Amino acid sequence: MSIRNRILEILDDLPAAERRLADVVLGHLDTIALYTANELAERARVSGATAVRFFRRLGFASFNDFRLEGRGQIEDGAPLERLNAGSLSDDMSRFVAGDARNIAATFDALPPGQVDSFVAQALAARHVWVIGFRNGQILAAYAHSLLQQLRSDVRQLVGTQPHVSEVMAEIETGDLAIVMDFRRRSVLLPKVVSHLRSEAVVVAFLTDGLEPPLTRQGDIAFTVQTSGAGLFDSHAATLSLINYLANRLARAAEGAVARKLDRIEAIHRSFRDLRSE
């Protein structure tokens, strides 16, 4: 039985402290090898003794045994692999609870100062570029749709490699690139990031941390929990984080943002495109 299913099987019967730890572990299963037992216990606000009891309750003599088992159960995110595993569920509560855990774990782990750094760079940048391929393209489109309402010169990098290459000629020092980097990444993304670095562009990553890292010291980086209860990874936390970052940007430039939103609303009123006749 998978670790996830072992936890879910006993979740409702756990004491309150162990339940908090179980929620943290479920939110970090895909990156469990990156944490120590103490780090997980601290995130759950439980004692070391509680952590020991919890991992023994799951059938492991030690946390290291648990972590080794967890590392072995990490799959590459292919929907076919999950389908063939025969562990899919149509229990709505599992999807809701899983997304809630992902959102909580993502926001709990936001690096101190990184949000402020992101806002400062987004305000100062000549252009803001939002970049993502495959699943990341949808997330980039959402980020682009919000940010373009808050400031000018926000562009989304999409298309085939020849098109991307042509558009990237416009990226220069002084720009900010927001990069969506999630597992099963396109082979094009590392090439794009390499070019961004050659132009000394500031790079901000939203990533699940499940691929070999493209981040470097000094980058802005947010790790998002994307563990899915079903066939696909869940990006509820990614969307929530994008929404939050856009809100922080709007608060930091409230006057300029209000003027732009007022112009947008005036055009909507003129076009009468948002209400039924």
pLDDT of residue 163: 82
Encoding tokens for residue 124? Answer: 């100062």
pLDDT of residue 176: 97
- Indicate whether 30 pLDDT > 80: no
Tell me which of 91 and 221 has the higher pLDDT: 221
Strand extents, DSSP E, the chain? 128-131, 154-157, 176-181, 202-207, 220-223
Tell me which of 241 and 168 has the higher pLDDT: 241
Alpha carbon of 146 to those of 178, 210, 236: distances in Å? 13, 26, 16
Furthest-apart CA atoms within the chain: distance in Å: 68
Residues 67-120: tens digit of each pLDDT? 878 766 665 567 776 676 666 677 788 889 889 989 998 998 888 899 999 999
Residue of 258, 257, 253 lying closest to 124 (CA atoms) = 253
Q: Lowest mean pLDDT of 37-41, 60-64, 122-126, 228-232, name the range.
A: 228-232
pLDDT of residue 119: 97
Average pLDDT over residues 254-261: 95
pTM of the predicted model as reported, rounded to 2 decimal places: 0.75
Residues 154-198: tens digit of each pLDDT? 999 987 777 888 888 999 999 999 999 998 888 999 999 999 999
CATH numbers and ranges of domains, the chain: 3-108 (1.10.10.10), 114-271 (3.40.50.10490)
Tell me which of 74 and 202 has the higher pLDDT: 202
- Identify residue 50 by its one-letter amino acid code: T
